[in-house]
Structure 1
């Protein structure tokens, strides 16, 4: 009888420990955007920021899983779930009021890109209003362009994914695209498109450039602290730079 009680007690303790650990698990979410984060040939989350997040998981001791989702779904999860960490989200003043930003994961560089056969020369974003300009629906770049006076009724053509956006440009369905130039080469290689046909038409120096780990305000403050401290630690140790060099990504 005592032995059965002891076994039952051990099973209960183990089950409670597993439940508590599972309840405290976090979820790193991101969209499909190589080389930052994507599903590899084996259907597993991969990419430079996924590898950095795995280093954060190991250093912090936090239980974590990884999900690659459509951007709209990833954003919804970030807004509504208290266990979600967005792997890379542009930090802006308005977002900083409603979300926790835990540290910079990488830098971006925004430009208007067009075909070389398009002889238009731009010195300001205002001049681009004479043309069709595209970006991805739901991105901060959509908000940025609309704030600058672009509209879907006149000069703004939104795409659902970077793949369709690039095809729109190469097929002449839009004149310029607003994109992160640091991912340009990888995206074009994946699509089999010739980057030699492109040129930067206008660098947008006022566009936010830091991509951060981000959570909503309901995310555990203690877990957020662990992630912040772990990101600082792996940068200080050189592990962060090692991963970035491995992926041949400049930061």
Structure 2
């Protein structure tokens, strides 16, 4: 008798629970958390992306991301990433958008949404140095460069120089000042912003253009979690170009 009562209670409880589950699932669908926002990965390399003294994201790419999101009016979170991680996440589809220098390794993994900035890549040495600023002139010597950055095939294939990867141009210039490297290879954007930040006069250095017209592009991962945002961001980038705001964001310091 007691066993039959327990069975009846169990069956009744199961029926009530099964009836409530679909209602609960439906409620979660309608009132649950919003879908995950798209991610705009920003390489944490000065002056493109860094944290200011208050710990907040800052830099030219942070400004760009902020304006793109505002104009497109879409849910995108922009987050600082170590350079190599930013590249890896775009390839894997763990981030949706990134701005990187043109790179053959990225072309097969991401859609190119347009040119963001055009730079010159410079070789820089101390003013008292007599070394010829070219791959040939630097043969057998050390050249610092920002780790993970693509500076073209000539540099990638250069095997007669000793390449020294560094965290950023601050570190590269410090090594140059101490004589630990013979030259620094970096974009004009990175060099001029760093010199201004350190209050170092240009006259302390010799510079030579290594590569003209190196372009930074806005990319969207081919495995992006939010492919529907491709057109809105491309349109927002074009609007910034047409209004001149894009040029203003990447204006070189005087």
TM-score band, normalised by the shorter chain? 0.7 to 0.9
Give the match for residue 6 of structure 2: none
Deviations along 1:186-239, one digit per CA (max 9) or x if unpaired, are 213434545431111x31236x61101113211243211221111112322444
Q: Say which of 146, 150, 165 aligns to 2:156.
A: 146
Q: Say which of 60, 70, 85 aligns to 1:58.
A: 70
2:26 aligned with 1:15: no
Give the match for residue 73 of structure 1: 85
Preserved CA contact (<8 Å) 1:91 1:101: no
Give the match for residue 222 of structure 1: 228
Deviations along 1:22-67, one digit per CA (max 9) or x if unpaired, are x2x1112222334332212221112232222212112222111121
Following superposition, the deviation at residue 94 of structure 1 comes to: 4.8
Q: For 1:233 and 1:210, locate their aligned partners in 2 and report how far apart those are by CA, in whole Å.
A: 18
Unaligned stretches of 5+ residues in structure 1: 1-7
Q: For 2:34 and 2:76, locate their aligned partners in 1 and report how far apart those are by CA, in whole Å.
A: 14
Q: For 2:87 and 2:156, locate their aligned partners in 1 and report how far apart those are by CA, in whole Å.
A: 19
Unaligned stretches of 5+ residues in structure 2: 1-23
Give the match for residue 214 of structure 2: 209
| Equivalent runs, 1:44-193 vs 2, <5 Å | 44-86=56-98, 88-122=99-133, 124-141=134-151, 144-150=154-160, 155-191=162-198, 193=200
> CA distance change for structure 1 residues 118 and 79 in 2, over 3 Å: closer, same or farther?
same
TM-score by length of 2: 0.77
State the secondary structure of the residue aligned to 1:240: helix
TM-score by length of 1: 0.78
Q: For 1:227 and 1:57, locate their aligned partners in 2 and report how far apart those are by CA, in whole Å.
A: 8
Preserved CA contact (<8 Å) 2:46 2:168: no
Preserved CA contact (<8 Å) 1:49 1:105: no
Q: For 1:55 and 1:44, locate their aligned partners in 2 and report how far apart those are by CA, in whole Å.
A: 16
> CA distance change for structure 1 residues 19 and 177 in 2, over 3 Å: closer, same or farther?
same
Preserved CA contact (<8 Å) 1:136 1:142: no
> CA distance change for structure 1 residues 234 and 11 in 2, over 3 Å: closer, same or farther?
farther
Preserved CA contact (<8 Å) 1:135 1:142: no
Aligned residues: 229
Q: For 2:95 and 2:141, locate their aligned partners in 1 and report how far apart those are by CA, in whole Å.
A: 42
Following superposition, the deviation at residue 9 of structure 1 comes to: 10
Q: For 1:28 and 1:101, locate their aligned partners in 2 and report how far apart those are by CA, in whole Å.
A: 14
Give the match for residue 3 of structure 1: none
State the secondary structure of the residue aligned to 1:19: coil
Following superposition, the deviation at residue 178 of structure 1 comes to: 0.8
> CA distance change for structure 1 residues 127 and 65 in 2, over 3 Å: closer, same or farther?
same
> CA distance change for structure 1 residues 84 and 162 in 2, over 3 Å: closer, same or farther?
farther
Q: For 1:93 and 1:79, locate their aligned partners in 2 and report how far apart those are by CA, in whole Å.
A: 12
Preserved CA contact (<8 Å) 1:135 1:141: no
